[in-house]
Each structure stands twice: as C-alpha cells, then as structure tokens.
Chain A
Amino acid sequence: MQDFGDAFGLAFDLILQGDPDLAEIVGLSLRVTLIAVAASCAIGFPLGAATAIMRFPGRQGVVIAMNALMGLPPVVVGLLVYMLLSNAGPLGVLQLLYTPTAMIIAQCVLVIPIVAALTRQTIEDLAAEYDEQLRSLGVGSAGQAATLLWDARFSLLTTALAGFGRAIAEVGAVITVGGNIDHVTRVMTTAIAVETSKGNLGLALALGIILILMAMIVNGLVMTLRTQWMSRAYG
C-alpha cells in the first residue's frame, strides 16, 4: 500500500515539474496513438459499414473473422509487422523499422478490427431501421453506408474511444517494431517496461498512473465534446 502512495506522489511531482523527458514521451504516445486511431477509423468505419449492408457469399465468415481479430495478441502483431518492415523483409526498402511510423502501422493492425467489428454491429442495427426508407429515396449502397455512418456518429465516437484504449495501453507491438529507442520511439508503455527492468518500480508505477490519467483526460474530453455536439446536432 505504501508503494502505491509513493507512486502517486512521484507521479504528481513529475507532472508539476514539467519534466521534459516525460513531456516528450507523453507527446509521442499521444501522437502515435491518435494518428493510428484516426487512420484505423478512416479504414474501419467504411469497412464495417460495407460489411453491415452488403450481402455476399462468405459474409458470415468475414463477420466471424472480424470479431476474432479483435483479440489479436499485440506481441504477435509486433512480430508480423517487424518481419514485414525488416531489412530482410518485403518492405525493408521503406526503411520504416524503428520509427514512429512503424509503431503507428502496428497499432493500426490492432485497432482496425476493433473499429470495423463494432462499426458493423452498430450499422447493422441502424440499417434494419433505415433500409426501406433509404432505398425508397433512391440512395445507392455507398450513399447508404455514408448516411448510416453519419447518423451513427455518436456511437461511432465510443467505438473510436475503444480503439484508443487498446492502442494507448499496448506495449508488445510497439516495442518490437519501434525498438524502444530513447528520444525516438519510446512511449509511455515502453518507458514503463524499461523502468521496470531497471528495478525502478516506483517510477514505473508513477508512469503508469500518468498513463491512466492521460487516457482519462482524452476520454473525458471526447465525451464532453460528444455531449455538446449531440445537443446541437444540426447534422
């Protein structure tokens, strides 16, 4: 119990001092994860919507695969992306290994299935309600997907937050493809891993508290904006 108390105090001190290393790590964590979530939504929303409204052979298999991929182990994803980006791999020429871009790619691989699967469920539920009216108005498949996505936007915001939660917390993928290089690819989770391996458990715990705080602030901000947006809801 005393360790927890010390850790909270240490976390508080770190934040107040405005430690530049901490700021750098927090900044990189946010940058990598926010870009990954945005890109994953740009891909996952249309993918989920398309799967929701289209009927094609093998659709049930696609839905099951999408849902199953939500449970992809991050460390496995890290290995796969490493093998792709390695100099010995097919995409080595891009020289992306050990860069923040590689970390973004790895996080996208983890987050896209979550966004797509949850979007599919949300849109499928809404589509049942809207289907006849949209067809009657003469809206084609693409238009239906776009309209359903827009009308489901408040639920989709929560889906995006689920993706954010997964990405900001994972370490297995980013540590393998990023290399946890100081000042280049060190993020909150990998910093916690390093401090733990140095035996600096108090500091590691303090960083963990700060990470949770970060996640709470992002969630709080988004939910506040969502509430404001909903009450205006012009569309």
Chain B
Amino acid sequence: MVDLALPRGAVAGQQLPILPLTASKLSFATSTGTWVGPIDLTIDQAGVTVVLGPNGAGKSVLLRLLHGLLEPTTGEVTWNGRAMDREIRLRQAMVFQSPVVLRRSVAANLRYALRIRGYRGAALRERVDAWLSHADLVPQGRRPATVLSGGEKQRLAIARALCGGPDVLFLDEPAANLDGASVIAIEKLLQTARDAGTKLVLVTHDLNQARRLADDVVFMVAGQARERAPASRFFDQPQSPEAQAFIDGRIVL
C-alpha cells in the first residue's frame, strides 16, 4: 500500500520541518472593531489541535491568519522560525465550511491540486486513484464535481487538500450542516491523515466532535485564546469559567 498522507519530504528527510507554527502578539482588527487578539500561540506536531469555542469567538479568523489568507494587523506568524514563503504555502492546505469544487470532474479536481505541487505522470495518477479510494469517491471519479452531494463535495475537498501530502491541514467547521453519515465519513478521512503524520488544526463549535477528535484544545472566547490544554485535561478540568460554562452546555457570550 502506498504511503500517501505523508508530508512531502518526510521520507527523504531533505526538507526542514515547518512546525512548530508560532503566532506572537497576533491580532486582527477592522474598522468595525477587533476580531481577534492579541494572541500568542504555538502549535507543534503532536496530533489534532481543535480550536473550540462559541460562534463569533473569532476561530475562523484565527485559522485564516495562521494559514496566511489574512494579513494580521499586529504581530506575526512564523513557521519553525521562517516567514511564509512559496514552499510553506504548498506544504499546508485548508478545507472550508462550504466546499469549493472546481467545475470539472472529481478526479480532475485532485489532479489540479497535484499539478500545482509538481506531480506528473504515473506519480500523479497513483495519488489520484488512492485518494479517490480513501475518500470513497471512486465511482464518482469521472463525474462533474458540481453534481455531488454536500457531504461528497466536502470529502472531495478534503481529499484534494490531502492528496499533495501537506504537513499541516487547517479545517474550518468541515462537517457543519452535514448529515451523520457524512460526518462519520469525514472524521474517518481525518483519522487516516492524522495517523499518517499530518498535523490537523480543526475549528469547530461542536463540543462532541471536539471530544471525538481532539488531542489538544485551544479554547477561544471573544477573540482571545482563553485556555490551552491537552484534551483530557481540558474536558475534565477546564480552568476558566467560560470553558466550564461551554462544556456544561450553557451559552457563552
């Protein structure tokens, strides 16, 4: 079986690791107010980091700042001490709450992402076939991606994000609004990636999903990172009143 979710370079050992990812004095503000920050945060290789918190806490903005889609107002994001460059851009990926699939076949969507990362010929075809299989989309391979169901589109988006073997995968509420079967399928896909060594940073407001997936938790409220702890400790012994309230199922403003 081909080892497919491995971050590129990990086997050859030639490229420098891009983790830990460090945010220092990071904030983002617009004319309407401060969305996020200031935040100091370090994310390293260990497992799945879940960014948890109520709606409006700024989780999605934080993710976009870390992934480099938004320019911070203050502070900086560094990758193992380096600033974002083309190599680092190609070694991470993101999946959005609403999947954006290209107007071409399912397989062509995967080929698109792979070509950008330099894959060609047999290596490209191998990866396409394997990730269609992982995402359980083999029969849909030649169909237009736009006719897939919501859950299938999201699986495609995740497969497209992972097929290039990123070191880090960011996910913004990937399973929101999906049916149970889709959620299971997606979480299974994420486990595959995690087991093969990809770092996952997952934003969710779903407490139960966090319990299922998290190795460590960043708990956010009102744009601040209120708590950071390994999952077991967070869920059993939350340190902050907001975290306790959230876990108890009360509304946190």
Contact = CB atoms under 8 A, between A and B. Distances in A.
A in complex with B: yes
Interface of A: 129-130, 132-133, 135-139, 143, 147, 150-151, 153, 233-235
28 contacts: A130-B100, A132-B64, A132-B94, A132-B100, A133-B94, A135-B69, A137-B112, A137-B116, A137-B160, A138-B89, A138-B116, A138-B117, A139-B116, A147-B102, A150-B103, A150-B104, A151-B102, A151-B103, A151-B104, A153-B103, A233-B103, A233-B104, A233-B146, A234-B104, A234-B108, A235-B102, A235-B105, A235-B144
Given A234-B105, A234-B142, A133 B100 contact: yes
Contact of A132 (B89, B96, B105, B112): B96
Given A151-B103, A233-B103, A235-B103, A137 B108 contact: no
Top 7 A-B residue pairs of the complex, sorted by shortest distance between their CB atoms: A235-B104, A133-B100, A151-B103, A136-B94, A233-B144, A138-B89, A138-B90
A142 B208 CA distance: 42
A184 to B, nearest CB: 44
* Most chain A Cβ neighbours within 10 Å, of B89, B90, B103: B103
A194 B86 CA distance: 62
Given A136-B93, A139-B116, A233-B144, A129 B103 contact: no
B130 interface: no
Contact of B86 (A136, A138, A151, A234): A138
B113 interface: yes
Interface of B: 64, 67, 69, 86, 89-90, 93-94, 96, 100, 102-105, 108, 112-113, 116-117, 142, 144, 146, 160
Contacts of A132: 64, 69, 94, 96, 100
Contacts of A130: 100
A142 to B, nearest CB: 12
Given A137-B160, A139-B116, A143-B116, 6 more contacts: A133-B96, A138-B86, A147-B112, A150-B103, A151-B102, A235-B104
Contacts of B93: 136-137
A137 B113 contact: yes
Contacts of B113: 137
Contacts of B64: 132
A117 to B, nearest CB: 22
Most buried by B among A137, A147, A153: A137
Contacts of B102: 147, 151, 235
Contacts of A136: 67, 69, 93-94
Tell which of A136, A151, A233, A234 has the most Cβ of chain B within 10 Å. A136
Contacts of A137: 93, 112-113, 116, 160
A135 B69 CA distance: 7
A153 B103 CA distance: 9
Nearest to A133: B100
A136 to B, nearest CB: 4
Nearest to B67: A136
Given A137-B113, A147-B102, A235 B108 contact: yes
Most buried by B among A138, A139, A147, A233: A138
Contacts of A153: 103
Nearest to B108: A235
Contacts of B90: 138
Contacts of A135: 69
A133 B93 CA distance: 9
B96 to A, nearest CB: 6
B96 A234 contact: no
B146 to A, nearest CB: 8
Contacts of B146: 233
B69 A234 contact: no
A233 B143 CA distance: 8
Contacts of B100: 129-130, 132-133
Contacts of B69: 132, 135-136
A234 B144 contact: yes
A27 B195 CA distance: 65
